[in-house]
A and B are shown apart, each in its own frame.
Chain A
Amino acid sequence: MATQHSRAAARFMIAPSVILLLAWMVVPLAMTLWFSFLRYNLLMPGDNPFVGFDNYSYFLTDPAFQAAIVNTLLLVVGVLIITVGGGIGLAVLLAQPMWGTGIIRIMVISPFFIMPTVSALVWKNMFMNPVNGLFAYGADLLGLQPFDFLTQAPLASIIGIVSWQWLPFATLILLTAMQSLDSDQMEAAEMDGASAFSRFFYITLPHLARAITVVILIQTIFLLSIFAEILVTTNGGPGVASTNLTYLVYAESLLRFDVGTGSAGGVVAIILANIVAIFLMRMIGKNLDA
Chain B
Amino acid sequence: MARAITPGRKAVNTAIGAGIGILIFFPILWTFLTSFKSEATAIADPPVWFFFDWTFENYGAVQERSNYFRHFWNSVIISVGSTVLGLLIAVPAAWAMAFVPGKQTKNVLMWMLSTKMLPPVGVLVPLYLIFRDWGLLDTRTGLVIVLMLINLPIIIWMLYTYFKEIPGEILEAARMDGAGLQSEIIYVLTPMAVPGIASTLLLNIILAWNEAFWTLNLTASNAAPLTAFIASYSSPEGLFYAKLSAASTMAIAPILIMGWFSQKQLVRGLTFGAVK
Listed in ascending order, the chain A residues whose CB lies under 8 Å from chain B are 2, 6-7, 9-11, 13-14, 16-18, 20-21, 24-25, 27-29, 31-32, 35, 90, 93-94, 96-101, 103-119, 121-127, 132, 134, 137, 140, 164, 167-169, 172-173, 176-177, 180, 183-184, 187, 210-211, 214, 218, 221, 224-225, 227-228, 231-233, 245-246, 249-250, 253-254, 259, 262-263, 265-267, 269-270, 272-274, 276-277, 280-281, 283-285, 287-289
Contacts and interface: CB of A to CB of B under 8 A. Distances in A.
B34 interface: yes
Given A21-B153, A126-B34, A281-B110, A246 B248 contact: no
B275 A24 contact: no
Interface of B: 1-3, 5, 10-11, 13-14, 16-18, 20-22, 24-25, 27-28, 30-31, 34, 43, 45-47, 89-90, 92-93, 95-97, 99-100, 102, 106, 108-110, 112-130, 149, 152-153, 156, 206, 209-210, 212-213, 216-217, 226-228, 230-231, 233-234, 236, 240-241, 244-245, 248, 251-252, 255-256, 258-260, 263, 266-267, 270-276
Contact of A137 (B46, B113, B123): B46
Nearest to A267: B122
B124 A122 contact: no
28 contacts: A13-B93, A17-B89, A17-B156, A20-B152, A21-B149, A29-B122, A32-B122, A100-B14, A108-B21, A110-B259, A111-B28, A113-B252, A113-B259, A114-B256, A115-B226, A117-B234, A121-B230, A121-B234, A126-B34, A137-B45, A214-B271, A218-B270, A225-B119, A250-B217, A253-B128, A254-B217, A259-B125, A270-B119
B117 A280 contact: yes
A96 B13 CA distance: 7
A195 B145 CA distance: 55
A270 to B, nearest CB: 4
Nearest to A14: B93
B121 to A, nearest CB: 5
Contacts of B30: 122, 126, 134
A104 B43 contact: no
Given A172-B266, A254-B217, A93 B121 contact: no
B93 A176 contact: no
A96 B30 CA distance: 28
Contact of A21 (B115, B124, B244, B251): B115
A10 B104 CA distance: 12
- Among A32, A94, A228, residue most surrounded by chain B Cβ atoms (within 10 Å): A228
B126 A14 contact: no
Given A10-B100, A20-B149, A228-B231, A281 B117 contact: yes
Contacts of A172: 263, 266-267
Main secondary structure of the interface of A (DSSP, over half): helix
- Among B118, B122, B230, B273, residue most surrounded by chain A Cβ atoms (within 10 Å): B122
A7 B110 CA distance: 20
A32 to B, nearest CB: 6
A245 B212 CA distance: 16
Nearest to A6: B100
Contacts of A250: 121, 124, 217
A109 B106 CA distance: 32
Contacts of A253: 124-125, 128
A142 to B, nearest CB: 14
A126 B10 contact: no
Contacts of A101: 17
- Among A2, A233, A250, A265, residue most surrounded by chain B Cβ atoms (within 10 Å): A250
A155 to B, nearest CB: 18
Contact of B22 (A31, A107, A134): A107
A159 to B, nearest CB: 16
